[in-house]
Structure 1
Amino acid sequence: MRIIADTGRCVGAGQCVLIEPELFDQSEDDATIIVLNETPEGELVEKARQAVHVCPSQALSLED
Structure 2
Amino acid sequence: MQITIDEEKCCGAGQCVLVAPDVFDQRDEDGVVVLLDAAPPADQLDTVREAAAVCPAAAIEVSA
Where structure 2 has 5 or more consecutive residues not aligned to the other structure, the ranges are: none
- SS of residue in 1 equivalent to 2:7: coil
**Identity in percent:** 38
Q: TM-score, normalised by structure 1?
A: 0.93
Report 1:1-64 matches (<5 A).
1-64=1-64
- SS of residue in 1 equivalent to 2:57: coil
The count of aligned residue pairs is: 64
Where structure 1 has 5 or more consecutive residues not aligned to the other structure, the ranges are: none
Q: TM-score, normalised by structure 2?
A: 0.93
Letter of the 2:62 partner, please give it. Answer: L
4+ residue runs over 4 A deviation: none
